[in-house]
Structure 1
Amino acid sequence: MAITASMVKELRETTGAGMMDAKKALTETDGDMEAAIDWLRTKGLAKAAKKSGRTAAEGLVAVAVDGGTGVAIEVNSETDFVGKNAEFQAMVADFSKAALSVGDLDALKAADLGGKTVEATLTDKIAKIGENMTLRRMAKLEGAQVVSYVHNSVAEGMGKIGVLVALSGENETFGRQVAMHIAAANPASLGEADLDPALVERERNVLTEQARESGKPEAVIEKMIEGRMKKFLSEVTLLGQAFVIDPDKTVAAAAKDEGVEVTGYIRLEVGEGIEKKEEDFAAEVAKAAKG
């Protein structure tokens, strides 16, 4: 596969690696971006191993809670400007309230909202505002108590990041602290048992290759791998993470001290996972000039 300059640029921005290292990584992995990131990590050349946070989607995440039930929804727009529109915000708030009484996204789209379905309401708003919008995601959480938190709030219950936390008992103050922790730390799962096996296997493979490159005896390598895997699991699972309010404790230990358990959580961030299509500006201008 031909390795293009844009591929090298993307890998450099994602990992912080040098240009030649990025090019070699892509060459070695036949242009596979994920494999190239792992190759750089194995060689100790990646300063970071995260995907670029740039996304095409704007809009809002909204949360609503009723007793032991909480919902979070994401409504996207083309520009951030629309997210600041009071009419758009009112519509998103209505959608989040409607979501409390349905089970999934399809049911929400079909739900009645003042004589129209949610989907028809959205279509009407698209025609009125003149910008494409999508009701992209809905997630529901239940527990003895559900606590919500919105980061970068632009109106009541809505902003760029919405978090719901389910607790085994009543403790709103602690629940809100955990929700703020989740907004900042973005854990991959509640605990080790909930973690994606593919993610665990991928990390173990990278750590194994790193350890083997040390040239140490196999017995030592095995201990190195287990130690690093333990550290990895503590960093990516909510219950294993150091609690931001008291870093000397894990979230699980802090919850125990508070007399509750964290039984679940939801974190939605606007535009998460949507890749932004970028064009070279000079090429774009040239294309417009020819047209």
Structure 2
Amino acid sequence: MAFTASDVKNLRERTGCGMMDCKKALTESGGDMDKAIELLREKGLAAAAKKSGRIAAEGLVVSVVEGNVGVVLEVNAETDFVAKNADFVAFVNSVAQTIIKENPADIEALNDMKCVGTDMTVAEALREKILVIGENMNIRRFERLEGALVPYVHGGGKIGVMVQFDTDCADKDGFVACGKDIAMQVAAAAPQYLSKEEVPSEVVDKEKEILTAQAINEGKPAAIAEKMVNGRIAKYYKEVCLLEQPFIKDDELTVAKYVENVAKELGGKLVLTKFVRFEKGEGLEKREDNFADEVASMMK
């Protein structure tokens, strides 16, 4: 049975494997798509140990809410191409649903749980995806929340955000819009803390030390330097604390004031209590690929 370039492309989209691997599998299977997928899985079994050491800093971040339970989850893969693979996306969503349903304490506990929609544990389902798709993958982190929640995903899974409220207005028109506005702010401005009170004292002390040194280096007397530091600390809070930040849609308001105004409009209680922000691959070493070189090598 012959096969075409379109078949190679289709197999790559279904499995996430490399073009040359797909071409070889179709050649060996005589163009039989299902047999080719089986062959790729069999070859994956032999290469699985090698894959585990490869850099996985791409992937997908999801933010999902079911009722009053939500999860922000990051699952990494080696390439951005795989992150768009429908099978990989379905796996990530299954893991998110498992976290919502089972409330695992950590990733180790999650791995031992039955993965929603399968007959396998999460660890077994992950291993299967590694073997089928041909890339190293790992479940990096998750955070599960309960309450009045609004999720937001930016850039097709590059950034996942969830905001949590203490409110009696969750069923009112305007609540979700408010939550999404704040979640978008979190995605764009990347605050480190919710409020000034959450900033650790040692962090504030270190920042004051740095700002004092800067003022003295500028030639300011100690008394003046102290006043300057107090002003700069206020500016620091506006940068790192969500509630202190200028609201992204109206910089005349802080986020705290915006929430206060919405509470008045909705006629009830509305208090922002927590946010979670995961950015895909943050803090991980990224591998560098030269796609032109890869294609050229295939043509030899």
TM over 0.5: yes
Partners of 1:141 and 1:265 within 8 A in 2: no
Partners of 1:182 and 1:110 in 2: CA distance: 33
1:122 aligns with 2:126: yes
Partners of 2:243 and 2:256 within 8 A in 1: yes
Partner of 2:163: 165
Partner of 1:110: 112
Larger radius of gyration: 2
The equivalences for 1:1-291 within 5 A come to: 57-101=57-101, 102-104=103-105, 105-113=107-115, 114-143=118-147, 145-153=148-156, 159-169=157-167, 170=170, 171-259=175-263, 260-276=270-286
Specify whether residues 211 and 175 from structure 1 end up closer, same or farther in structure 2 by C-alpha distance, changes over 3 A only.
Answer: same
Q: Deviations over 1:89-127 (max 9, x none)?
A: 110111111111213322322221222111110011101
Give, as a single letter, the amino acid of the residue that structure 1 aligns with 2:153. V
Partners of 1:267 and 1:196 in 2: CA distance: 19
Q: Which runs of 5+ in 2 are unaligned?
A: 1-54, 264-269, 291-300
Partners of 1:125 and 1:277 in 2: CA distance: 20
Partner of 2:6: none
Q: Deviations over 1:64-91 (max 9, x none)?
A: 1122221111100011110011110110
Partners of 1:132 and 1:278 in 2: CA distance: 15
RMSD, aligned α-carbons: 1.9
SS at structure 1 position matched to 2:153: strand
Worse-superposed segment, 90-99 or 211-220:
211-220
Specify whether residues 200 and 277 from structure 1 end up closer, same or farther in structure 2 by C-alpha distance, changes over 3 A only.
Answer: farther
Please list every run of at least 4 consecutive aligned residues from structure 1 whose deviation after the TM superposition is greater than 6 angstroms: none
TM score, norm. by length of structure 2: 0.69
Give, as a single letter, the amino acid of the residue that structure 1 aligns with 2:114. D
Deviation at 1:214, TM superposition (A): 2.5
Percent sequence identity over matched residues? 43
Give, as a single letter, the amino acid of the residue that structure 2 aligns with 1:103. P
Worse-superposed segment, 224-233 or 67-76:
67-76
Q: Deviations over 1:116-164 (max 9, x none)?
A: 1111100111011111000000112223x100000012xxxxx111100
Specify whether residues 205 and 189 from structure 1 end up closer, same or farther in structure 2 by C-alpha distance, changes over 3 A only.
Answer: same
SS at structure 2 position matched to 1:115: coil
Deviation at 1:272, TM superposition (A): 1.0
Partners of 2:251 and 2:145 in 1: CA distance: 27
Partners of 2:121 and 2:203 in 1: CA distance: 39
Q: Which runs of 5+ in 1 are unaligned?
A: 1-54, 154-158, 282-291
Specify whether residues 89 and 206 from structure 1 end up closer, same or farther in structure 2 by C-alpha distance, changes over 3 A only.
Answer: same
Deviation at 1:278, TM superposition (A): 6.7
Deviation at 1:276, TM superposition (A): 3.2
Give, as a single letter, the amino acid of the residue that structure 2 aligns with 1:60. L
SS at structure 2 position matched to 1:258: helix
Deviation at 1:195, TM superposition (A): 2.2
Between Structure 1 and Structure 2, the one with more helix by share is 2
TM score, norm. by length of structure 1: 0.72
Q: Deviations over 1:14-72 (max 9, x none)?
A: xxxxxxxxxxxxxxxxxxxxxxxxxxxxxxxxxxxxxxxxx961000112112222111
